[in-house]
Each structure stands twice: as C-alpha cells, then as structure tokens.
Amino acid sequence: MFDALYLEKTDAGFSATRRSLSLDELANATPDADVAVRLEYSALNYKDALALTNRSPVVRRWPMVPGIDGAGVVEESSHPGFAAGDRVILNGWGVGETHWGCLGQRARLRGDWLVRMPESLDARRAMAIGTAGYTAMLCVMMLERQGVTKEQGEILVTGAAGGVGSVAIALLAKQGFRVVASTGRASEESYLRELGAAEIIDRGTLSAPGKPLQKERWAGVVDAVGSHTLANACAQTRYRGTVAACGLAQGMDLPASVAPFILRGVKLIGVDSVMCPIEDRREAWTRLADRLDRDALERITRVVGLDDALRLAPEMLAGQVRGRTAVDVNR
C-alpha cells in the first residue's frame, strides 16, 4: 500500500482526499506504463491547485491521482533507457490529468516521459524547481534563441512572485540581465530584489486595457499572466524584441493588436512545458542544475507534506503563495 492524494467525481460531487492505495490499483490504472518509480518529492503547481479544487477542467479522467511533477528512484523498468536504481524527473505529459500522477508515494510512468536526474540535483531540489522552474528555463532558452542579449535592454517578468516568475528572475539576473519584476504584492519587494530584480512595478500598470502601441521598453518578456498583461507587454516591447508567453493567471484571452508584430517586428513565442520535446527538457534540466543558484532556490522554496498540499491549493489560486512549493510525499 502507499499514500496518495485521490480525486473523485461522482453523482454525489467532487472530493479530494488523502488515502491509501494498493500497487494493484496503480497498475490497473496505468496499463501503458513501463517504469515504476518510488517517489520522494512532488510539487504543488498552479495546475495542481486547479485539479485539487476542481476549479477548472484540468482532470479529464476519474478517479485521478494528481501531480504533474515527480522525482524519485526507479524500482522496476521494462523501458530500455532506465533500470532499477536510476534517479528520474517527470514533468507534464498529461500526468495528473489523464494519467495517474505524482502527488503520492508511488507512480507508474512511461520511460519516454522521464529525464535522468542531473548528478548535482537531488529529488528535493528537483521538485523545488519543478515544472515552474523548468518552464522558466524554457522561456530563457527561447529568449536566447531569438538573440536577446543583456546589451539590448531590460527584461520584464510578470507574475514575478509566483513559481515561474521567481525562477526566471533568478536565472536572468545571474546571466547579467536587468530584470524588472511585475507583481501585485508590494510586500514581496525585498524577496524579489533578493532574487535579482533591479526594479519592481505594480501589476496594475499592465493589467488594464492599453493602447495597441506604447513606449518601447522591453528587450524581452517572460509572461506567466496572459490577457491584458500580455497584450500590454507586447505593446511595450522594443523593436524586434521577444515575448515568451507561458501562463494564463489573468486569463486565456489576448485582447491585443497586430501592431507590435507588424510595425515593430515583435516576436510572441508560446512556451509549452507539457508536451515539450525530450531534447529541450534535457537541456533545460542540465542548465538548471548548473546555473540556478542554490541559495536563490532555497529562498524561493518551502517544503510541505501531502495534507498541506490540499490546504494550500485554494491559497495558490488566490495568489497568496509565493515562489515554489515542494511536496515531501512521505510526510
């Protein structure tokens, strides 16, 4: 038997509880899996919070063990790339949505989804980074691939106190960029400056409807917010600048004009962490292991147990949880 968070939706309604499950139940729920993993840590992400509260149709198969992130040790494998004892990381691929996930002590996964854990990481640090940190690195990689350099100007990071924003600030500041952090939480200014933000702006300056073209400021943008915030960020991006969009905290809509794209050559690039090719995943995790400052990661992270994840999910959706939340699945 093993403990996991368990989501059910029946005629009686929705429930999210911690319960004990058998390995047979896990095997029957994951017939396409070829790697069994003893999990050590998972994480609480925005998508997990949506699943745990049933606020959005994230879960598309019931019942479900949530958890889009996991890190641990392979116990059994019929996949040629992995053997018992290998340390692995899982992010995305529909896990926790259509395939039983990692907010539990055991998981059965497909080897094609797994990344071998870099030697300089352990499960706790890997899940302190999690999907949010991995997504932040994908955004940084996209800016770099479009030729954005620190000499070209400032980088705007929206949703700065959240998981993606926090890691993005730390990564970009370490690379020498002048980072401007947008947040609605003025109380987090010292936290964001400790991560490397050179300037803090109120999210209200970006979150309302704005003009199609505005004063040019940003050489690049990492946006985890969407909606009017993303539209205004594009309108303020400098000639041939790049905007990496990876989130929708404000909304899925994009009330924007084509003007920034056809008059300034601004590039808007979507960053998908769920189905991202394995080559980019490996590069992102290798670079995170090498480049993300350990002290910065500790400032960003808190560690909780499985029961705490249930309690914190509504707070995360309300924007009351900063940084990263790693989950010790054995607590």
Region of residue 265 (left: phi > 0; alpha: psi -120 to 50; beta: else)? left
pLDDT tens digits for range 64-90:
999 999 999 999 999 999 999 999 999
All structural domains of the chain, each given as residue ranges with its CATH number in brackets, are: 2-117+295-328 (3.90.180.10), 131-270 (3.40.50.720)
Return the SS3 of 321.
coil
DSSP string computed for 258-320: SHHHHHS--EEEE--SSS--HHHHHHHHHHHHHHS-HHHHHHHEEEEEHHHHHHHHHHHHTT-
Residue 218, token pair as written in the block? 């940003």
Which residues are CB-neighbours of 199 under 8 A, at least 6 positions away? 178, 179, 180, 181
Longest C-alpha distance within the chain, in Å? 61
Give the orientation angle of helix 278-291 with respect to helix 123-145, to 10 degrees: 110
CA distance 50 to 252: 15
Question: Per-residue confidence of the chain (331 residues) as pLDDT tens digits?
Answer: 999 999 999 888 999 999 999 999 999 999 999 999 999 999 999 999 999 999 988 999 999 999 999 999 999 999 999 999 999 999 999 999 999 999 999 999 999 999 999 999 999 999 999 999 999 999 999 999 999 999 999 999 999 999 999 999 999 999 999 999 999 988 999 999 999 999 999 999 999 999 999 999 999 999 999 999 999 999 999 999 999 999 998 999 999 999 999 999 999 999 999 999 999 999 999 999 998 988 889 988 999 999 999 999 999 998 888 889 999 999 9
The Cβ of residue 75 has, within 10 Å, a number of other Cβ atoms equal to: 14
| Predicted structure pTM score | 0.93
Give the orientation angle of helix 46-53 with respect to helix 306-317, to 10 degrees: 100
Residue 144, token pair as written in the block? 């770099």
- Single-letter code of the amino acid located at 103: L
- Single-letter code of the amino acid located at 203: R
Residue 81 is predicted with a pLDDT of 97
The Cβ of residue 2 has, within 10 Å, a number of other Cβ atoms equal to: 17
CA distance 175 to 18: 42
Residue 66 is predicted with a pLDDT of 98
Residue 296 is predicted with a pLDDT of 87
